[in-house]
Structure 1
């Protein structure tokens, strides 16, 4: 193992631990406003019709940023993009603490989303270039755990901190994490990453896009990721709309309905143990199948009791938490080193596009019965599992079970 690997995974220096904490803090920015939208509307004098822009301004810039920073890190290196991006994110967050007008707040949220996008794809690519194969698997597993759990923990943080002291003050602890992570990464020695020549044009970083999209193995990952996050978001939005009132009547809050699945968010760590033996492809397919089974059980149990549905939702979330890190590992193992940052960026972009389509799916299916809705979701993920497992071609993939 080289020196950068020893230093990166050393328990004394803890750069990986900081990256994981930073991953949780960065992605939580998307979810913190969800439970406090009414208070944000009052604080920043937003009209009810524009309050949703607090989410959309961030999410749109966040998605676009994925397509910028991954290729940029292929060109100039992972470490500079991570360090500068986190410093800019901290500065933008500081600016958000000082604004009060609705226009500046929405502008700040857009800038915050764009700066936040510098972290997820670049950090994932960075981790896959450090340490042994086993250490890289564990690094991806911990990062996946942070990214996934941010959807729940970010909302809890929003209620407990932003809801009590305000959105602005909730940003202060996160800024400390961003700056501490940037400083620690800046002190690490530069990793040996593939990058473009300094004399090439900016657009050269995107020349590999066609090569990435033409790769049938990567296409299968992207299609599955799109469906997976779309279904995940649609499930929880519909849970609120369809069963929220019933759950609250039975003393179960909407956050508690999510917290019941919290143990499942640790499953990416199990994926790290199984990947060397099973391979990322088989684990991704298995995770998709578990997701589909969980949704099918939701369809069967939804008319019996809300608690039965919540129990089935744990299996559904478990499948998602197995699939996401497995798909990330699949991208890292299949993509060529020269376009790995671009490939991971496209993966995170597709994930977020899927999450953005989730509300649309939930609204368009509002007239469906609960059981039909969950069955349709199960069928979609089941087809994704088949697509993931189907051999690419007889020439390039002799057997699915032997693919890694």
Structure 2
């Protein structure tokens, strides 16, 4: 009797679309970072509307920005370090979903206390994306494209300042609620795409939570990390501070509506594009010299704004200012990555924490200087930038002396 006929069934595993090339990986991360960090800025032009809608003062309503910034700083201590121990794609996906949920909750807030609470929670969970993405990207891309990809991704931090304010201005006529609700579905799309990025190898620095904390604290004993951290503290302090001051004095510059308000912010876009090419400068002159000179350029831009005169002078100065900061960001991130070694998440945690601190201090400094005028505010911010400029230029010489 012949053996029964058998048929081997070959099961083809379900295919999942994945992004593996440097361009799609960077593009997905850039879109996700842009959407997340935009939440730092989206409420800048909405504070007056929130105050009127919820029956509170402008000073109280301003806490929807400051509370987010302070919580953002704290969250930056948690999620980047966590990404050394957990799949960073899971951390980033969680962050995007959590921010989307808090967008919905904030939009339905019945009073300013509820809104500030929702924004505080949102600020805490938002760092599950931007600093984790900066630490994740070098772990999944070839070395030949890392500097360029990091430069492109880093521009999202400043580009989000323009995009976030533009989004708020454009949706302002529909109500401040819609500026938040409208971001939720976009975040959901990004959360769908992140798990389809390549898996990253587990960091060699990963270990127990106690070891993670010790690693993060130890970062502050590394001189080159401290050099980069001066950039972290001053970057968004001056960036947010300048735009808050610009919003406060926009009527003096002829901006009396959403469209003209948006036009005041557009000159920053060309400078941000320049930041995407900062990888070329970093490879040629090194991250320290690049950042030091760029900080001086940013300070010069603020000085031009402080001179006053025709509106085009202010706009030209803001373009130079933003261009300088756009070049600084990837240079500073490069220093953090190099000095952190295998503990990129821990190194980026400290950097991102100070970014958040600076973002929360910016509005407070601008508010304290509001009575002195826009020009004085710009002069003070320019003086602040001289500190990291000197730190990077001196730190670069010392780093070079060590390597020789």
| TM-score range for the pair, normalised by the shorter chain length | 0.7 to 0.9
Residue of structure 2 aligned with 1:120, choices 118, 130, 138: 130
2:157 aligned with 1:150, yes or no? no
SS state of the match for residue 74, structure 1? Answer: coil
When residues 248 and 137 of structure 1 are mapped into structure 2, their CA distance, relative to the original with a 3 A threshold, is same
- Alpha-carbon deviation of 1:129? 1.2
2:143 aligned with 1:133, yes or no? yes
In the superposition, the TM-score normalised over structure 1's length comes to: 0.84
When residues 37 and 369 of structure 1 are mapped into structure 2, their CA distance, relative to the original with a 3 A threshold, is closer
**Following the alignment from structure 1 to structure 2, what is the Cα–Cα distance between the partners of residues 108 and 376?**
32
Q: What is the CA deviation profile of residues 298-337 of structure 1, one whole-angstrom value per residue up to 9, with x for unaligned ones?
A: 44x42x4343232222212211111122111221122121
**Following the alignment from structure 1 to structure 2, what is the Cα–Cα distance between the partners of residues 21 and 122?**
14
Q: Give the aligned partner of residue 393 of structure 2.
A: 389
Contact 2:73/2:355 (<8 A) preserved? no
Residue of structure 1 aligned with 2:304, choices 278, 297, 314: 297
Please say which of residues 274-283 and 342-351 is displaced more in the overlay: 274-283
Q: Give the aligned partner of residue 275 of structure 1.
A: 282
2:310 aligned with 1:327, yes or no? no
When residues 7 and 278 of structure 1 are mapped into structure 2, their CA distance, relative to the original with a 3 A threshold, is farther
| CA RMSD between the two structures | 3.0
Q: Give the aligned partner of residue 26 of structure 1.
A: 36
When residues 375 and 109 of structure 1 are mapped into structure 2, their CA distance, relative to the original with a 3 A threshold, is closer
When residues 50 and 248 of structure 1 are mapped into structure 2, their CA distance, relative to the original with a 3 A threshold, is closer
When residues 160 and 197 of structure 1 are mapped into structure 2, their CA distance, relative to the original with a 3 A threshold, is closer
Give 5+ residue unaligned stretches, structure 1: 1-5
**Following the alignment from structure 2 to structure 1, what is the Cα–Cα distance between the partners of residues 259 and 195?**
45
SS state of the match for residue 76, structure 1? Answer: coil
When residues 350 and 312 of structure 1 are mapped into structure 2, their CA distance, relative to the original with a 3 A threshold, is same
Contact 2:233/2:357 (<8 A) preserved? yes
When residues 99 and 287 of structure 1 are mapped into structure 2, their CA distance, relative to the original with a 3 A threshold, is same
Q: Give the aligned partner of residue 211 of structure 1.
A: 218
Q: Give the aligned partner of residue 316 of structure 1.
A: 321
Larger Rg: 2
Contact 1:24/1:147 (<8 A) preserved? yes
Q: Give the aligned partner of residue 355 of structure 2.
A: 351
Contact 1:76/1:196 (<8 A) preserved? no
Contact 1:61/1:110 (<8 A) preserved? yes
When residues 131 and 156 of structure 1 are mapped into structure 2, their CA distance, relative to the original with a 3 A threshold, is same
Contact 1:225/1:350 (<8 A) preserved? yes
**Following the alignment from structure 1 to structure 2, what is the Cα–Cα distance between the partners of residues 391 and 322?**
18
The number of residue pairs the alignment matches comes to 387
Contact 1:77/1:195 (<8 A) preserved? no
